[in-house]
Each structure stands twice: as C-alpha cells, then as structure tokens.
Amino acid sequence: MCGIAGYFNISADHSPSQDVLEKMIHTLAHRGPDGYGFYTGKGAGLAHARLSIIDLEGGWQPIHNEDKSLWVIFNGEIFNYLELRQELEERGHRFYTNSDTEVIVHLYEESREECFAQLNGQFAIALYHAGENTLVFARDRMGVRPLFYTIHDGVLYFGSEVKAIFAASPLLPKEINPGVLREIFTFWMPGGAETVFQGIHQLEAGHWARVSVGKGIVTREFWDIPFADGLAGGLRGEEECAERLRELLIDSVRLRLRADVPVGAYLSGGLDSSTITSLIHHYTDNPLKTFSVSFSDSVYDEQAEQQQMVDFLSTDHHGEHCTYEKIAEVFPDVIWHTEIPILRTAPAPLYLLSSLVRRHQYKVVLTGEGADEILGGYDIFKEAKIRAFINKCPNSSIRPLLLKRLYPYLALSPTKSAEYAREFFDTGASVDDLFYSHLPRWKTTGWTSVFFAEKMQAINGEAAFEKLAARFAAKLAGLDYFSRAQYLEAKLLLGNYLLSSQGDRMAMAHSIEGRFPFLDHRVVELACTIPPTLRMKVLNEKNILKKAMAQLLPQSIVKRKKQPYMAPDILSFFGGKEPEYIDYYLSSKLVAEAGFFNPKAVQQLLMKCRKKARQGFRENMAFVGILSTQILYDKFVRNFQVDFPQKLDNVKIIS
C-alpha cells in the first residue's frame, strides 16, 4: 500500500519542477513512510510514497518495462500477481523485481486498457506511456483505493488524496463546492465524480482514464456490479449457493494473505469479521493476530461477542477501548484525513484502531467490509422489503407492525411506535421508483438543511436527485427493488463513504493497509446471481453467508441479529469533557465566514446538545455534519498548510 501523486502536461509550456513532486508526495508520507521514488519525463512527473509489503528490497516505484517506454506507480495490491507473472514470463516478458507492481506494465504492453479487467486487486494506478506521451489512470472495481485529479493552467495534477494536489501550487483554488456539500447532507456522500472541493474530481470505481496532449481526459468504465433481475428465477439452490460462496471466500482470503510482512485481522464480533477470521484459522497456517474496538458506552459495545470469537479461535487479540473523550480528541485529525464532511463519528474509533495496529508493528489487516452490501445484510434492505409488503395491502393495520422489527440497536429508534414508524418511512413513492429503498433515509438526512445559510437554501435540492437519476437510471432499469437497494448501497455508501472515510483514510492515516475478502470481484459476481429471496430469506439477513459458515462459527454468532458498527455522535463531544475546539469551529464568526450554515441556528443546536447530550438521529447527523464541515473549511480552505522538510529521507530517483 502506498501513496501516489504526479502531474501531466496537457497544454502547458513547461513542466512543474522536481520540487513540486516532492511537496505533493510529502503530504502522503502517512500512506508510505518507508521511502519515496520519483520519475520525470518529457511531459509527466510521477511520485510514490512506499509502504513496503511485497518485495521489500526490490519493489521500489516507479517501475518500468524492459525498454523504459512505460512507467507505473500504484497504490494497492494485485492479489493474483503470481499467476499473472507466470503467464507473462511464458510469453517472453522479463522481470527485474519480485513485486506485484511490475505485472501492470507488462500486462499493459499486451492489451492496453483491457488489462485492468485481468487484475484481482484493490488499486489506483497511474501509468505513463513515454513513447506516446499519454497518462493512463485506473481504479479498482469496488473503489477500495482513491484517486483524485484536477486540471489547472494546462497541467493535470493527481494524487491519492486531495491534499497532495493542493500542495502542488499555492495558486490552485481551494474552495468548497456548495452543490456537492448539499449532496452530502442528503446522500451522506457526493453522488458522482465531483468532490466537495471545487474543481477536484475522483476517478470512479471500475473506471480507467486516458489523458493526452491537446485532448484532455477521456474516461471509460471497465466493470460494474452485475446485478441482474433476480425475480426471473433461482439460479441456484441454497446449499449450492452456500457451498460456492464458502469456496470463493476461502480462496479470496488465501490470496489476501499474500505478503512479505505479517497480516492480522479486524474482529468486531459480528458475522462478517468472524467469517474472515474463522476462514484464516481453518484454511491457512497464517498466525492469527486480531484487533478490535470496544466502547465505554454500552449502546455501541460488542466486547462480549468479540471475546467469544477470540476464545473460539484462540487468537492473539488486542483491543482499543474508546471513550467519548478519545473520539472527540482525534476528531479534527480524522477530518484532515477524510477530506470530506461526515455525518457520523464512526471513522474516529477506526482511526484509533489503526494506530493500535501500527503500535503492534503490523502493516496489513483483513476486514469484513462489503458483506452487507453484496449479500443483503442491512436493515435498509429489510426496511424496503417490509415497506413493499405493506404497500401490497396499504389498509392493513397488522402489516405496519413489522416495522417495529427494524433498528432495534438504536437508542432512540423511530420504530418503537408502529404508527410513528409508518409515518416516518412513508415517502409516497411506489416500489417501482428507482430510489424507493433509500428515500426514507435521504428524507431524514435532508432534514439537516434547516441549518443551511441562505445561499445553501437557494440551491435546488431536486438537482441532486436528477443528477443521481441520470447516473443510475440505465443501471437500475429492470432490476427488482431489492437488487436496486443493494446496488445503490454498494455504489454510494460503500464506495464513497465506508471504503474511503471509514476504510482507506482511517487505516492509511497510520500506514495500515486494509484488505477486503468480500470485495473480491468473483465473490461479488457470485452474490449478484443469488436470487434476492435467498439473499434475505423472509427477514433473515445474509441468509446464504450464514448457511456457508454454519459449521465454522458458534451458533450464537451465526444467529445474532445484525448490529451495524456505530459510534457515539453528539455524546462524544458532550458526554464527557467538552473539547475546547468546539467554541472555535462553531463560533458565530467562523460559521458566518464559511457561509454554509446559519450561525443562529448552529448556536441553538449547540445549546441543545449541551443541555441534553443524547439526541435523536437527525440532530446527531446535523451536529457532526456541521462540525466536520467547519473543520474542513478551516484546515483546507482557510488555513491549508503542510510543513515541508528541507530534504526528504530515503529517496530514489528512477530513470
């Protein structure tokens, strides 16, 4: 795992200097603390911050092909690199390293951009073709690894994080995009390739892009989550689905243990992480060191379930105990790394957890992300199923009672009263609406707009939905409502929030690489063929995964009701000692200067939080969203700065 950055001249008269590359890559030192590599060509510059995991001595980047016409830097891992290397060597390619990186340049020689579909991995790639003076980007299928870019004064700048781009030049605009901010306060994340920073874009998951002189940037999709109309009939029976899923997960875990350093695992106590640790224990000889988060607030704590799995598998276990004060203390640093406003504090404990992993001198962990999205685990899917059932008989007084089975883990659940729940989840939309499953969530999140300043209120809120519909209409057409729900959750929440703000950013903040066996594209493709009636059988979430793991886990873990990972929100700031920075970031002066929120409304919310720390779902989202936006504004727009050393240590200039 690493950090990458660089530039490409599209129409500028001269290239940026080596000094610019050094400034860009220094901002990513947390992603790759083991050293730096550089290459400068006629029209491009590449920089790499290395986290040594495979080929510790020889795997320095940038890496080139035999005649040095192709140069590559990448952030991530190619898990099937040994198999690909053997095929390439049989076709005459010569390798000078034992790294997975070198496979990329030789594959590109063979099949250009079609090569990316051959990679089983998590990656953000930048490949410079010196002979043709073109730059090619690619990002993995599910969007595990980030890649951002902008074009300024004829030069394209790119990086694993936005801060690397901002470091390239003081002349680069640093402004928050109000329209995208509005999207975040509705969908939890941007709805497309735009970011919250004006003019900064991300390469979308499963896409590649080519940049050429005078032609700008062209993007193409090489893979998408292949849900089909599952109502057409069962493609497999339950037992066959379960057996095939288990086989693929075993192989996925085996591939993701490939490393020249020790590999650990996160263990939350839920079904997903328990599945991964159990497969490591039963099907590999990898030493099993596990890590987890516990909470002083019993509402969020899963320590008992974690200990059950530790005892069951005899793992060498280590935990990070999170108090309100710890979460509040690191929250500004969390926003520096997320580079986006967030509506929940959940990334903060994972930031603390990756620090624990680093202190134990581990660099790699396997985690369970992705299982809920692809295998039907979330309450939002269960909610859509119940709502569709109610809609078939809207006058029934009994069917709405099923809503009370949703969100039992929330301290202030909207389902405690069946009558209130029915009103809460009613959007007036039919089951055929493209966004049927997500409209209640977006309606709830959209309530936060009451805190917006006038300029934000003036933005057409429907425009965000129209943009989302334009992006997804063709993708969702013909899918049943359950598959539509899963597709949206995987493309939006998983891709643009869980894998970034909670995944890549929190792990890499402390130089930790997360690997995700459930997101092996073969596992995802299999999951998409399972009929939705089997993914969630009646209201039994992740039915096939439970069947697949029934003999490998304690029954109490298999049968345990889903409790998604969450952390205390408002309570983190007011349940203990209030952090001093609250008065600075939420001062009427700074709120007015930023211009996104109504200072009076923010002060009223602040007073409410101080009087009663445990608030409802909406208030929690509003407070965390406002605070994180203000921190982002201060750190990236108002006061962006990075302390650059006189000289970078452990540098390799490759030519």
pLDDT tens column, 259-285:
999 999 999 999 999 999 999 999 999
Q: Comparing C-alpha atoms, which of 339, 319, 272 is closest to residue 562?
A: 272
Supply angle C-alpha 503, 505, 511, rounded to 5. 100
Report, as an integer, the average pLDDT of 472-498: 94
Phi, psi for 247 (deg, rounded to 5):
-60, -45
* Parallel/antiparallel/unpaired status of strands 148-152 and 155-159: antiparallel
In this structure, is residue 312 part of a structural domain? yes
Judge residue 98's burial from the number of C-beta atoms within 10 Å of its C-beta, 0-12 exposed, 13-18 middle, 19 or more buried: middle
Q: Comparing C-alpha atoms, which of 521, 432, 500 is closest to residue 226?
A: 521
Is 561 found in the same domain as 429?
Answer: yes
C-beta of residue 284 within 8 angstroms of C-beta of residue 260: no
Give me the pLDDT at residue 423, please: 59
User: Sheet harboring 289-295: ordered strands across?
Assistant: 316-322, 289-295, 263-266, 364-366, 513-515
Length of the chain (residues):
655
Is 315 found in the same domain as 212?
Answer: no
**Model confidence at 365, in pLDDT bands (50, 70, 90)?**
very high
Q: Comparing C-alpha atoms, which of 639, 641, 634, 640 is closest to residue 589?
A: 634
427 pLDDT more than 70: no
In this structure, is residue 263 part of a structural domain? yes
Chain Cα centroid distance, residue 409: 23
Report, as an integer, the average pLDDT of 77-94: 96
Is 321 found in the same domain as 231?
Answer: yes
Instruction: Give CA–CA dist 60/69, Å, rounded.
Output: 17
Give the DSSP letter of residue 231.
G
Tokens of 107: 């594959």
Report, as an integer, the average pLDDT of 352-381: 96
Is 612 found in the same domain as 542?
Answer: no
Is 584 found in the same domain as 479?
Answer: no
**Model confidence at 654, in pLDDT bands (50, 70, 90)?**
low
Report, as an integer, the average pLDDT of 567-583: 95
Q: How far apart are the first and last CA of the chain?
A: 22
Tokens of 144: 């595990």
Report, as an integer, the average pLDDT of 169-178: 94
Report, as an integer, the average pLDDT of 286-293: 95
Is 432 found in the same domain as 334?
Answer: yes
- The tally of CA atoms less than 13 A away on the side-chain side of residue 266 is 33
In this structure, is residue 652 part of a structural domain? no
- The tally of CA atoms less than 13 A away on the side-chain side of residue 641 is 4
Question: Poorest-confidence range of 108-112, 318-322, 356-360, 392-396?
Answer: 392-396
* Domain final residue, candidates 566, 592, 611: 566
Give the DSSP letter of residue 638.
I
Give me the pLDDT at residue 228, please: 77
pLDDT tens column, 384-412:
888 888 777 766 656 666 666 676 655 55
Q: Comparing C-alpha atoms, which of 68, 12, 1, 472 is closest to residue 211?
A: 12
Residue 624 neighbours by CB under 8 Å, 6+ apart: 342, 343, 344, 345, 569, 570
| DSSP assignment string, 127-152 | EEETTTTEEEEEE-TT--S--EEEEE
Give me the pLDDT at residue 231, please: 46
Is 591 found in the same domain as 459?
Answer: no
Give me the pLDDT at residue 285, please: 92
C-beta of residue 202 within 8 angstroms of C-beta of residue 147: yes
Within 10 angstroms of residue 396's Cβ, the number of other Cβ atoms is 11
Judge residue 285's burial from the number of C-beta atoms within 10 Å of its C-beta, 0-12 exposed, 13-18 middle, 19 or more buried: exposed
Between residues 425 and 509, the one the model is more confident about: 509
pLDDT tens column, 598-629:
999 999 999 999 987 778 888 999 999 999 99
Give me the pLDDT at residue 402, please: 65
In this structure, is residue 653 part of a structural domain? no
- Positive or negative CA dihedral for 276, 282, 284, 287? positive
15 pLDDT more than 90: no
- CB burial of 505-525 (b: ≥16 within 10 Å; e: otherwise) equals bbbbbbbbbbbbbbbbbebbb
3-state secondary structure of 523: helix
Give me the pLDDT at residue 121, please: 97
Is 209 found in the same domain as 99?
Answer: yes
Is 511 found in the same domain as 553?
Answer: yes
Tokens of 190: 């941007």
Supply angle C-alpha 650, 652, 654, rounded to 5. 175
- Positive or negative CA dihedral for 536, 540, 546, 547? negative
C-beta of residue 497 within 8 angstroms of C-beta of residue 208: no
**Model confidence at 344, in pLDDT bands (50, 70, 90)?**
very high
* Domain final residue, candidates 503, 531, 566: 566
Tokens of 395: 């006058």
C-beta of residue 539 within 8 angstroms of C-beta of residue 406: no
**Model confidence at 232, in pLDDT bands (50, 70, 90)?**
very low
pLDDT tens column, 116-125:
999 999 999 9
463 pLDDT more than 60: yes
Is 235 found in the same domain as 192?
Answer: no
In this structure, is residue 54 part of a structural domain? yes
* Domain final residue, candidates 167, 189, 223: 223
Report how many domains make up the chain.
3
Give the DSSP letter of residue 100.
S
Instruction: Give CA–CA dist 296/621, Å, rounded.
Output: 21
Give me the pLDDT at residue 646, please: 66
In this structure, is residue 646 part of a structural domain? no
Return the residue matching tokens 């497999």.
236
Phi, psi for 504 (deg, rounded to 5):
-50, -50
pLDDT tens column, 238-262:
999 999 999 999 999 999 999 999 9
C-beta of residue 562 within 8 angstroms of C-beta of residue 541: yes
Report, as an integer, the average pLDDT of 323-327: 97
Instruction: Give CA–CA dist 31/339, Å, rounded.
Output: 15
Give the DSSP letter of residue 537.
B
Q: Comparing C-alpha atoms, which of 355, 291, 263, 351 is closest to residue 79?
A: 263
Alpha carbon separation from 367 to 110, 254, 350 (Å, rounded): 33, 13, 12
pLDDT tens column, 31-82:
999 999 999 988 899 999 999 999 888 899 999 999 999 999 999 999 999 9
Give me the pLDDT at residue 416, please: 57
Is 142 found in the same domain as 48?
Answer: yes
220 pLDDT more than 70: yes
Report, as an integer, the average pLDDT of 359-371: 97
Q: What is the domain range of residue 403?
A: 224-566
Return the residue matching tokens 């035999």.
66
In this structure, is residue 650 part of a structural domain? no
C-beta of residue 513 within 8 angstroms of C-beta of residue 365: yes
Give me the pLDDT at residue 233, please: 45
236 pLDDT more than 90: no
Mean pLDDT of the chain: 91
Within 10 angstroms of residue 371's Cβ, the number of other Cβ atoms is 24
Alpha carbon separation from 337 to 31, 78, 348, 414 (Å, rounded): 11, 25, 10, 32
Is 586 found in the same domain as 560?
Answer: no
Give me the pLDDT at residue 309, please: 95
In this structure, is residue 647 part of a structural domain? no
CATH of the domain at 464: 3.40.50.620
Give me the pLDDT at residue 422, please: 56
